[in-house]
Amino acid sequence: MFNWVSLLPMLLSGGSLFSSTGFTTIANIVNEAVSNDDISTKLKKELPLVVGALSEYGGTFFPQVKVPLQIVAAAMTTFDPSVNKWIQNLLNTQSVALGLPSPNLVVDGFYGQKTMAAARAVQAKLGLAVDGWFGLVSQNALAAVMAKNVVIGGAT
């Protein structure tokens, strides 16, 4: 069972913490990174005290995600509601475009069980690893499919 107390200081601060390079937020690290590896490296370097809690959280809620990426999954889904809202909206609209039923997600920024289930359905449809985390690999795969189906001037 996940110990929520370990994340309490981060949750209360919105992920804002004093890092080795000054005041930062987990969301800033996520938004400024160029890859999952970059997020992981920056979290470990700038916020080493939170990596254990993020790893435990990621392992609990995303057990199918490869262990080194569990801290990234936890950081992305917990501390950046704007990205979660974008993902929820994307899953609502693009599930139907992929021939899946709409998950009818509430676009609230909370990455809960319904968002994870919708992510799993799209991942399965796209032939990706089905782990429930709609991270950069899933986002890029869906973007590639969307790019092929863009309608310009009435023609596909």
Domain ranges of the chain: 4-78, 81-148
Strand, helix or coil for residue 17: strand
152 membership: H or E segment, kind and range: none
Of 60, 125, 42, 52, nearest to 91 by C-alpha is 125
Q: Which structure tokens are listed for 148?
A: 């092929």
Q: What is the pLDDT of residue 4?
A: 47
Chunked mean pLDDT (size 10), the chain, 156 residues: 49 47 70 88 86 88 92 87 90 92 94 95 95 92 83 51
Tell me the residue length of the chain: 156
> CB atoms < 10 A from the CB of 82, how many?
10
The structure's pTM equals 0.77
Q: What is the pLDDT of residue 57?
A: 86
- How far is CA 82 from each of CA 3, 94, 103, rounded to the nearest angstrom? 25, 18, 19
CA distance 21 to 131: 33
Q: If you search the block for the tokens 């310009």, which residue do you land on?
A: 152
CA distance 95 to 80: 22
